[in-house]
Structure 1
């Protein structure tokens, strides 16, 4: 599996496991951008990945 796709799948699984929706990330990321990351269409920067992980509670 491609790295960007694997990151996206892992983020989505962690987000859903915590019962969070894409709308819960409004202060961190736009819903469409998060969707693109989760589908492996975009690769987040390390800073953005850190922000997302912190919001999910896995950092």
Structure 2
């Protein structure tokens, strides 16, 4: 099941995201969803520094 939520980005970040999406032939929302998914998966593999500190 997919969930929806809204994200607010600085104009410069959105402009970069929009350009990347256009270059890849994707929608901006699709690229954003992909990047978030990849980021979350990477965090599971390599915990954030703040998470490492909690586990000490």
Using the size of structure 2 for normalisation, the TM-score is 0.35
Using the size of structure 1 for normalisation, the TM-score is 0.33
Higher relative contact order (CA 8 A, sep 6+): 1
